[in-house]
Amino acid sequence: MTLSVEQARELVLKRCHVLETEEVPLLEALGRVLATDARSDIDVAPFDNSAMDGYAVHAADLAGAAEDAPVTLAVISHIAAGDHSELEVRPGQAARIMTGAPVPPGADAVVMVEFTDAGEAAGSTGGTVRVMREVIVGENIRRRAEEVSAGDVVLSAGEVIGPAAVGLLASTGHATVTVYRRPRVAVISTGDELVEVAERPGPGKIRNSNSYSIAAQVIAAGGIPLRYAIVHDDPDATREAFMSAAAEADFIVTSGGVSVGDFDYVKPVLEELGEMEFCKVAMRPGNPQTLGSIDGVPFFGLPGNPTSTFVGFEIFVRPALRYMQGHAKFDRPRHTATLAHDVKKKQDRRYFLRARLERLDDGSFSVALSGSQSSALLTAAHRGNCLLVLPEGKRFFEAGSTAEVIRLDMEEGIV
Ligand code: AMP
Ligand code: MG
């Protein structure tokens, strides 16, 4: 049975489960999903503080202050960031204050240094300052607990930790964070024609590039690749590799050997050791996409052609790996663009073509194929930044018409 892309992806996700959690140093949480609510141990900000370099004042003292009617205040203290002054600012007085320094008792606003003119003793303690502008109560004061109060949730379970979240977690005392574990992904390339990358292929041989491109996609999806040695087109070698992968990995990805070739052993061995759920999806490139499991470990067999591998991973394996890491969003941003040229399909299946999206001067998007669409070639995938999706049921797509693209340059859930 040939499945639709949606049916197939649903079955892939069903076969996976969210992994356990682990506590990691804060920076290692970047890009990962928070597993438990993170609360703050303190108020952030911990105290009222100045948003500007200037003078802490009584706003009422400056009523009517202007360029031609400056108000002179006595400067009683000088508070730098990191300092702490208990000295009360009384009416008629000011404290020179730097950005981030605690607002002293008594003061209810800060006037920016730009609107002052240092008088005697250059506006320092013991001198005076002339202020040329009114302020309102609270002006230029950042309030205690403006970000979060002690004991409150600063980040909720399920939120993805980006750079700003790392900063929030740091300011609220989280040197370590509980996140979902990264999946260990066995990457197994099959094929008698394959040689290692460091080798120069002899007659009839090619380099095992899929092992690297898949491992790179695993890393990009947040997983840990376990690259296996090349598995020859031989049932015993295939069995051995699959068994050790099932013993040590959370997910198994293979490339090649899922077609109807005479030496394609992936499917028979999968059925022997575990179970196979489907082996065909109505898409191009890469119709022989294969799902199963061995000893409960999800197994996805990608076709061998490098671009079929690349697209199959993107559409089926990446969502699975994200699901296992606690993510709730599995769709990269999609939107429409205008076709820069005609595109023809040979088959009725859903096409995922390697294409490049460009933003035009009027703000609209134009999309063009980024190179040869042969599934044996990777250059178009490298030069592209999106997949151009051509639906089933239509074979000709005219220049100037609207088409859907999947943004490979943006993470799921961004927009
Ligand atoms: P298969 O699915 O095994 O019939 O392979 C389909 C095509 O993909 C063949 O042309 C293979 O040579 C090629 N291929 C298979 N595995 C790899 C690999 N690991 N790296 C690069 N190309 C591969
Ligand atoms: Mg093969």
pLDDT in tens, 319-343: 999 999 999 999 999 999 999 999 9
Whether residue 215 is found in the same domain as residue 286: yes
Whether residue 101 is found in the same domain as residue 201: no
Query: What is the rounded CA–CA span in Å between residue 322 and residue 344?
Result: 33
CATH number at residue 193: 3.40.980.10
Whether residue 134 is found in the same domain as residue 173: no
Among 187, 188, 206, residue to substitute to test ligand 1 (most atoms within 8 Å of Cβ): 206
CA of 76 to the centre of ligand 1 (A): 79
Residue 200, in any domain of the structure: yes
- Coil, strand or helix at 217: helix
279-314 burial, b for 16+ CB within 10 Å, e for fewer? bebbbbbbbbbbbbbbeebbbbbbbbbbbbbbbbbb
Whether residue 9 is found in the same domain as residue 60: no
| CB of 286 closer than 6 angstroms to any ligand 1 atom | no
DSSP 8-state code for residue 19: P
CATH number at residue 339: 2.40.340.10
Q: Which residue, 324, 359, 383, sits at the end of a domain?
A: 324
- Coil, strand or helix at 255: strand
Residue 91, in any domain of the structure: yes
Whether residue 198 is found in the same domain as residue 275: yes
Residue 220, in any domain of the structure: yes
CATH number at residue 171: 3.90.105.10
Identify residues whose C-beta is under 5 A from ligand 2, the ion: 191, 256-257, 304
Rounded alpha-carbon distances, angstroms, from residue 160 to 36, 96, 179, 331:
12, 41, 10, 15
Query: What is the rounded CA–CA span in Å between residue 114 and residue 55?
Result: 10
Among 305, 308, 313, 374, residue to substitute to test ligand 1 (most atoms within 8 Å of Cβ): 305
Residue 253, in any domain of the structure: yes
Q: Which residue, 90, 117, 142, sits at the end of a domain?
A: 142
Residues 75, 128 contacting (CB under 8 angstroms) = yes
Whether residue 282 is found in the same domain as residue 261: yes
Q: What are phi and psi of 370, to 5 degrees?
A: -100, 15
CA of 55 to the centre of ligand 1 (A): 71
Whether residue 122 is found in the same domain as residue 208: no
Query: What is the rounded CA–CA span in Å between residue 182 and residue 219?
Result: 10
Ordered per-residue pLDDT tens for the chain, 415 residues: 799 999 999 999 999 999 999 999 999 999 999 999 999 999 999 999 999 999 999 999 999 999 999 999 999 999 999 999 999 999 999 999 999 999 999 999 999 999 998 765 566 788 999 999 999 999 999 999 999 999 999 999 999 999 999 999 999 999 999 999 999 999 999 999 999 999 999 999 999 999 999 999 999 999 999 999 999 999 999 999 999 999 999 999 999 999 888 889 999 999 999 999 999 999 999 889 999 999 999 999 999 999 999 999 999 999 999 999 999 999 999 999 999 999 999 999 999 999 999 999 999 999 999 999 999 999 999 999 999 999 999 999 999 999 999 999 999 988 8
Query: What is the rounded CA–CA span in Å between residue 104 and residue 77?
Result: 9
Whether residue 298 is found in the same domain as residue 396: no
Residue 123, in any domain of the structure: yes
Among 208, 217, 255, residue to substitute to test ligand 1 (most atoms within 8 Å of Cβ): 255
Render 160-215 in DSSP notation, one character per residue.
B--HHHHHHHHHTT-SEEEEEPPPEEEEEEB-TTEE-TTSPP-TT-EE-HHHHHHH
Angle at alpha carbon of residue 340, lines to 334 and 345, rounded to 5°: 75
| CB of 206 closer than 6 angstroms to any ligand 1 atom | yes
Query: What is the rounded CA–CA span in Å between residue 243 and residue 269?
Result: 10
Query: What is the rounded CA–CA span in Å between residue 285 and residue 132?
Result: 71
Pairing relationship of beta strands 194-195 and 184-189 according to DSSP bridges = unpaired
Residue 414, in any domain of the structure: no
CA of 215 to the centre of ligand 1 (A): 16
For 125-134, the pLDDT digits (tens) are 889 999 999 9
Rounded alpha-carbon distances, angstroms, from residue 340 to 116, 317, 333, 388:
59, 30, 20, 12
Whether residue 195 is found in the same domain as residue 254: yes
| CB of 192 closer than 6 angstroms to any ligand 1 atom | no
Closest CA to 308 of 271, 340, 274, 349: 349
Q: Which residue, 164, 180, 196, sits at the end of a domain?
A: 180
Query: What is the rounded CA–CA span in Å between residue 392 and residue 335?
Result: 18
| CB of 298 closer than 6 angstroms to any ligand 1 atom | no
| CB of 259 closer than 6 angstroms to any ligand 1 atom | yes
Whether residue 231 is found in the same domain as residue 242: yes
Q: How many helices (H) and strands (E) does the chain have?
A: 8, 28
Domain carrying residue 245: 5-20+181-324
Residues 52, 99 contacting (CB under 8 angstroms) = yes
Whether residue 282 is found in the same domain as residue 215: yes
| CB of 193 closer than 6 angstroms to any ligand 1 atom | yes
User: Rg (Cα) of the chain, in Å, rounded?
Assistant: 31
Asked whether the bond before 391 is cis by omega within 30 degrees of 0, the reply is no
- Ligand 1: which residue has its CA nearest to atom 3? 256
Residues 338, 365 contacting (CB under 8 angstroms) = yes
CATH number at residue 129: 2.170.190.11
Residue 413, in any domain of the structure: no
Domains: count for the chain: 4
CA of 385 to the centre of ligand 1 (A): 24
Whether residue 300 is found in the same domain as residue 229: yes
Residue 16, in any domain of the structure: yes
- Coil, strand or helix at 54: strand
